[in-house]
Amino acid sequence: MRTTLFILATLILFPIAAAAQDTALFTSGGSPSRGGSPSTNRLTADLHFLTRGEIRDGGIAAAAPEATLGDHANFVLGRSRLTLGFEKTYLSTRLDLRQLGIWGQAGGSAFNVYEAWARLSALSGLFLQAGRQTLSYDDERIIGPNDWAMAGTSHDALKLGFEGCGHKAHLILAYNQNEENMTNGSSFYTGGALPYKTMQTVWYHYDLPLITSGGAPPNGGAPSLGISLLMMNIGMQAGQPGTGDHIEWQQVYGGYAKYAPSRWSLEASYYRQSGHNENGKAIKAWMASLLAKWQPQSAFGFKAGFDYLSGDDYFVVAQQGNIGLIQHDTLRGFTSVFGSHHQFYGAMDFFYISTFVNGFSPGLQNAFIGTYVKPINNLRIYLDYHYLAMSTRLPDIDMDMTLGHELELEASWQIKQDVTLSLGLSLMVGTKSMERLKRASTDGSLRWAWLALNITPRILTKEW
C-alpha cells in the first residue's frame, strides 16, 4: 500500500515541480535562458523484422524414458515490430508493438505491447518515466531487455531520476496485479506478465574522465572510468489466495565498474543476493565477474574473463529414475534476476536459463577467451571458448566439477544500413557431470546452429 501511494503521489507532484523548474529557466520573453533552441516536435516510426532459424542437436533430453525421437529440433522463429516515438522539449513517448511466433505454430502467433511509456523531463536533469518499459543497466547482467529471447523483457514501472554533470541516479518502482476486480484481493499469482509482485530499485552511476600524464584526457575526453551501485528489493507472491497469502522479499545489491583509458578496457562486478524465496527459504548467494578487452587495431581484438556464481553447499543428485532426498533450508545458488542472460555463460544457454535436475543449483564457473576480426568492411567474425564448471563439489566420488567445453563461432554481415545477416555455430563437449546434472546428450556432444536476418528500416521522420 505504501508503495502504491508513493507512486500515485509522484505521478501527480513531479509534473508540477518539473514545470516550475522549467519556467524558472526561461526568460520573460519565452526563450530559453541557457541558449537553447525553440521547441521542436519530432515523430519517428521504425519497423523491425527478425527471422531466425535454429538447428539443435543434443541438449536437454525428453523427460519420458520411452521417448524415441531423440534430442533434436529444427524450427524458425519470427518477430515483427512497429515502434512509434514522439519527442518535444519536455516530453518523449514510445510505443512498441510486437508480433512473434514460430513458423507453422498452431493457433497463430502472439501479439503484445512490449513498450508503452511517456517521459517528462526538466532542464535541471530531473525526469519521470511511467508505463511499460525496458530496463537496461551497466552490462545488463542483472537488469537488461534480454533481446535474444524473442519475447524480451519489459517492466510496468515508474522511473524517476536525475542525469547531469557525470551523475546518474534512478529510482524504479513497480507494483503488479492480475486484474482490477476487488473481490479477488491483491494476490498476484500465475497469469501475470512479470514474475514479481512488487519491486523497488535504486541505481547510481558516476562517470569520471581521467587525465593522462600529459594533461590531456584520453579517448578524446570521453569518460574513462564508470562506477555503478545497484540495490534491488523484490517482493514475490507466496502462499495461497485467501489462506495466508503474503509477500516474501529478496534483495540483490552490488556494484559494477568499467575502466577504458585507450585501446584496452577492464570491467568488474560483484553482487550479493539475500532474503527469502517464494517458499520462505533463506537466500545467501553471491557472484563476481572480471572481463578484460584489448583492441590493438580496429580490425581485430581480444577478450578474456571469468565469472563465478555461488552454488549450494551440499546436495545429492539422484541417478535417473530415482528421487533426491536432500533438502536445503538456505539457498546459495545465485540467480541473475532480470538480466540479458544469453551474452553470458555460453551461447547455448545451458546455465541459468534452464533448471538443473531436481531444481538445485551447483553454481557456475565460466572461464572464457575470445577474439574478433574484421576481414572486410561490414563483416565481423567472432570466436569464443568457454570452460564451464560447477562452483561446488558433488559428494559423489565418481563426478568432477567440470561440466564441459564450449566453442562458439559467430559472423555478422551488414549488407545495407538497415539489413544484417548473422549466423552462429556452437559445439559443447560435455562431461559425465553435465550428462547427469542436465540429463543432456549421452554421447557428450551438443551442437547448435542458427541463421538470422535482421531488417530495421526507419519509415518516417517528421519534424515541425
Give whichever of 73-77, 246-250, 352-356, 454-458 has the largest mean pLDDT: 454-458
CB 357 within 8 A of CB 438: yes
The secondary structure element, H or E, covering residue 447 is strand 445-455
So what's the pLDDT on residue 68? 42
Residue of higher predicted confidence among 369 and 106: 369
Q: Would you place residue 349 in the very low, low, confident or very high pLDDT band (cuts 50, 70, 90)? A: confident
Mean pLDDT on 377-395: 91
Percent of the chain with pLDDT over 90: 53
So what's the pLDDT on residue 223? 62
Is the predicted pLDDT of residue 285 greater than 90, yes or no? yes
So what's the pLDDT on residue 36? 43
Mean pLDDT on 345-357: 75
Please report, for the chain, the start and end positions of each structural domain, with discontinuous segments joined by +: 2-29+53-180+188-212+222-463
Question: Could you tell me the three cell numbers for 60?
Answer: 536437454
So what's the pLDDT on residue 105? 84
Weakest mean pLDDT among 172-181, 254-263, 451-460: 172-181
So what's the pLDDT on residue 27? 33
So what's the pLDDT on residue 441? 56
Question: Could you tell me the three cell numbers for 373?
Answer: 576480426
The secondary structure element, H or E, covering residue 434 is helix 432-438
So what's the pLDDT on residue 31? 39
* CA angle at 107 for the pair 104 and 110, rounded to the nearest 5°: 90
Collapsing DSSP to helix, strand or coil, 351 comes out as coil
- Residues 393-406 have pLDDT tens digits of 776 645 678 888 99
Mean pLDDT on 94-118: 90
Is the predicted pLDDT of residue 209 greater than 90, yes or no? no
Average pLDDT of the chain, as a whole number: 82
- Residues 110-134 have pLDDT tens digits of 889 999 999 999 989 999 999 999 9
Residue of higher predicted confidence among 295 and 105: 295
Question: Could you tell me the three cell numbers for 302?
Answer: 581480444
So what's the pLDDT on residue 362? 84
Collapsing DSSP to helix, strand or coil, 130 comes out as strand
So what's the pLDDT on residue 298? 87
Residue of higher predicted confidence among 415 and 277: 415
Is the predicted pLDDT of residue 192 greater than 90, yes or no? no
Weakest mean pLDDT among 173-187, 199-213, 328-342: 173-187
Weakest mean pLDDT among 133-147, 160-174, 240-254: 240-254
Q: Most distant CA pair in the chain: distance in Å?
A: 82
So what's the pLDDT on residue 218? 53
Weakest mean pLDDT among 59-68, 183-192, 307-316, 332-341: 59-68
Rounded to two decimals, the pTM is: 0.85
Sequence-distant (6+) residues with CB within 8 A of 420 are 412, 413, 414, 453, 454, 455, 456
Domain 2-29+53-180+188-212+222-463 has CATH 2.60.40.420: no
* CA angle at 51 for the pair 48 and 57, rounded to the nearest 5°: 150
Is the predicted pLDDT of residue 434 greater than 90, yes or no? no
Residue of higher predicted confidence among 383 and 166: 383
Is the predicted pLDDT of residue 412 greater than 70, yes or no? yes
Collapsing DSSP to helix, strand or coil, 44 comes out as strand
Mean pLDDT on 149-171: 94
Is the predicted pLDDT of residue 94 greater than 60, yes or no? yes
Mean pLDDT on 360-382: 93
CB burial readout 131-146, b (16+ within 10 A) else e: bbbbbebbbbbbbbbb
Q: Would you place residue 184 in the very low, low, confident or very high pLDDT band (cuts 50, 70, 90)? A: low
So what's the pLDDT on residue 316? 53
So what's the pLDDT on residue 278? 83
- Compute the distance between CA of residue 172 and CA of residue 210 in angstroms, rounded to an integer: 30
Q: Would you place residue 435 in the very low, low, confident or very high pLDDT band (cuts 50, 70, 90)? A: confident
